[in-house]
A = this chain, B = another copy of it.
Amino acid sequence: MNFTLQATDPGSKARAGVISTAHGEIQTPIFMPVGTAGTVKAVHQHELANDIKAQIILGNTYHLYLRPGLDILKQAGGLHKFNCWDKPILTDSGGYQVYSLTEVRKIKEEGVTFRSHIDGSKHLFTPENVMDTQRIIGADIIMAFDECTPYPCDYHYARRSVDMTHRWLKRCCDRFDATEPLYGYEQTLFPIVQGSVYKDLRKKSAEVIASFNREGNAIGGLSVGEPAEEMYAMTEVVCEILPHDKPRYLMGVGTPVNLLENIALGIDMFDCVMPTRNARNGMLFTKEGIINIKNKIWENDFTPIEPDSDLYADQVYSKAYLRHLIRSKEILGAQIASLHNLHFYLWLMGEARKHILAGDFRDWKEIMVQKLGKRIGE
């Protein structure tokens, strides 16, 4: 993997760059649609590539490990072959899911034992076997196995946790460096800064993470319920320490406004279920603000969802029709709204990039954040 920093905004810490992977280039800042179980929900792969213009998607170690399982993924030749997506993939390590999705889990120094949410079967994730699993999944970028602390989190728990995350990172790196990719292309490992909302813990964690000198770095444990200001404060502290010449990935973030604010602080990569999950509930992110398509005011609005968009779904279907589909729980509603939101997120990243390259990102961002957070028609 290679990262080229192309420009930095004079009025902020926003950066534009290019990440090169074995499956192609990623122009940053970038949003990565989440494909939890090997599919970005309600979206075809050709729609991701051609309509949404996704450059990289996420896969989820926990979900893929449970289903279809490693045996099938290995036989398929990795996730790219399995789900017919030949552009870059990033897999998260499963840490977040293990903590949030499984009822019964026990965290020890060795790793985490948990029960599957599907059939209750018992499993153990360790830093080592999570590296092996991600070798089998075959993502271009794989994530270290960490502990994602909840919000709020007791300071002493957060300190002990981040220390264990650092010890686990050492074990992740050792295992990763001692193993080879399985499918003939390179993979790279990103470590994850933790430390809850405590500046001193975040600072120390960023220093430790930077010292591992991997090809990219991530910030985890944010967007878990803390106020946006706390998130930004943590991003700022961490970005001051993480090396400039490597991509910075803020995990699980966020709203369009969150993205722009974090880009201004030096973040290059994002992922979040919000554009797809909220789409399925009828929340649309647009250039003029947020629409709840279930609201009655859209009932007889027969104008296109977003008239000046280059997306089929935005041009053809009306707000009234989409409202009807979402209210009727029709699958096509989830399809249209997911396409729309993902297209909007990728459009927003493209615009941000243009403005960084043009050197006027900060002014543009200030105007945009005023609009993007507004609720239209409420």
Contacts and interface: CB of A to CB of B under 8 A. Distances in A.
Main secondary structure of the interface of A (DSSP, over half): helix
Contacts of A327: 67
A50 to B, nearest CB: 11
Give the number of times this chain occurs in the complex, counting copies.
2
Contacts of A312: 44, 46
A238 B72 CA distance: 52
Chain A, interface residues (CB within 8 Å), range: 35 or more
Contacts of A294: none
14 contacts: A39-B330, A40-B332, A41-B330, A41-B332, A43-B332, A46-B312, A68-B299, A68-B320, A68-B324, A76-B318, A82-B321, A82-B324, A84-B316, A84-B321
A359 to B, nearest CB: 39
A75 interface: yes
Given A316-B84, A317-B84, A321-B82, A332 B299 contact: no
Nearest to A74: B300
A58 interface: no
Contacts of A39: 325, 330-333
A325 B334 CA distance: 16
Nearest to A339: B44
Given A76-B302, A300-B75, A335 B44 contact: yes
9 smallest beta-carbon distances between A and B, as pairs = A42-B331, A68-B324, A39-B332, A75-B300, A84-B316, A39-B330, A37-B328, A41-B331, A67-B328
Interface of A: 37-46, 67-68, 71-72, 75-76, 81-84, 299-300, 302, 312-313, 316-318, 320-321, 323-325, 327-328, 330-336
Contacts of A84: 316-318, 321
B46 A324 contact: no
Contacts of A313: 44
A39 B41 CA distance: 19
Contacts of A300: 71-72, 75-76
